[in-house]
Amino acid sequence: MIDLIKELTESYGPSGREEEVQKVVLKHLEGHIDGHRFDPLGNLLVWKKGKSDKKVLLDAHIDEIGLVVTNIDDKGFLRVEPVGGVSPYTYVGHRVKFPKATGVVYYEGETPDEQKKNLSNLTFDHLFVDIGAHDRKEAESLVPIGTFGVYDSYFHRNGKYLVSKSMDDRIGCAALVEVLKNLKDPKHTVIGSFSVQEEIGLVGASVAAYDFSPQLCVAVDVTDSADHPKGLKRACYGFGQGPCHKDQGSSLDKPQEGRRDVRAGCTKIRRVLPKGSFDFWRHKCRSPSKDQGRHPFGDAFYTYQIRPFAKRNRMPRRCGRRGKIAGELRQLGTRILMP
C-alpha cells in the first residue's frame, strides 16, 4: 500500500485537473471491479456488484489544493490565485509544479521596509512565481494564463510516518482502492466515488450519487491532529489513536436508529484498531437539491464520515501517518461493508 500512496500523492491533480490521478486509480483497480465510468462533472465512479439490491457508496476526493495563473508581467513573472483553501504563507520560498515548468514563489517589495510590511500582512496580491522565463512570451509558451500548479514535493517515509503533499485526500483514495481490491463477494453493491473539486466547495461529491441512489454513504477523509504543541484543547484525537467518526452539524438530520447502528459498528471496529478514541460529530452534508426537490443520494440516504488519518500542517502543507494503518484500513473497510 505504501507504493500506492507514493504514486497517488506524487501525481499532479489540482481541482478540476484530476485526470492523471484517475488513471493511477484505474490502473490499480484493473481486474478488481465490475465496471467504471465518469459522470458529466468528471467524478470517477467504480463498482462491485453485490447480492442484494441495496447500495453502499464510499467517497474520497481525488483533487488537491493548488494555484492558477491569472496574469503574466512583461518580465515573465506569474501572478496567481489560490485553488482551494490555501494560505499564501505556505507557498513563500517553495517550488510549484506546472505541467511544463517549475517555479519558485516569493513576495514583492521594493524596499526592506515594504517587504517586511507585505510579509506581516501577506496576500496573493504580493506573491509572484519565477519560472526562469526571460519575458512574457517565453512564460506564456510554458505556462499560459489559466494553467494550474501544485506543490512541487516528494513522498518521504520518515520512520513510522509518511510525509508528502496531497495526503488530503489521496490517502483516502488509497484506502478505497485497498478496500475494493480486498472485498470479495460483497453482500451489497459497493460503489467507489473518487470525487473531483472537493477543495473548491464539495463540487463533485454533491452530485456523485445521483445515478445510484445508495442507502448509505461513507466519506473517507483526513482530519487534524491535536497531539502537537498548542493543539486543540477540546479535541482528544492524535496520531496512532485510530480513526474518527464525524457526526456533527448537518442540514440533513439522521434518525436516532441510524446513529445507534453506526456507533455500534464503530465499537466493533475499535477492537481491531490502535488504542484511542472516536469523536462523534454529525457529518455536514449538502442541502437537498433545489432543482430536483430531493437530496442527491435519495430519500432513504444517511451519510457518515470516517476520518482514518490524522494530519499535521507544515510549510508546505504536508500530512503524516503511521504506516501500519494499511492493514487496519482493510479490516475497517471489511467490517463496514460485510456486517
Active-site pick, 198, 199, 257, 328:
198
Contact 2, 326 (CB under 8 A): yes
Q: Which helix (H) or strand (E) holds 218?
A: strand 216-224
Q: Which residues contact 105 (CB under 8 A, 6 or more apart)?
A: 91, 92, 93, 94, 95, 96, 127, 128, 129
What are the helix (H) ranges across 69-166? 112-120, 136-142
Q: In what order do the strands lie in the sheet with 216-224?
A: 35-38, 44-48, 189-195, 55-61, 216-224, 302-311, 244-246
Q: Could you say which DSSP state residue 14 is in? A: B
Phi, psi angles (nearest 5°) of residue 28? -80, -20
CB neighbour burial string for 99-119, b if at least 16 within 10 angstroms, e if fewer = eebebbbbbeeeeeeeeeebe
What are the helix (H) ranges across the chain? 2-9, 19-29, 112-120, 136-142, 167-182, 256-270, 325-337
C-alpha cell at position 72:
503574466
113 forms beta bridges with none
**Angle at alpha carbon of residue 230, lines to 227 and 232, rounded to 5°:** 65
Q: Could you say which DSSP state residue 4 is in? A: H
Query: Is 198 a known active-site residue?
Result: yes
Give me the amino acid identity at 310. Answer: A
Contact 135, 292 (CB under 8 A): no
Closest CA to 41 of 256, 212, 194, 180: 194
Report, as residue numbers or ranges, the catalytic residues.
198
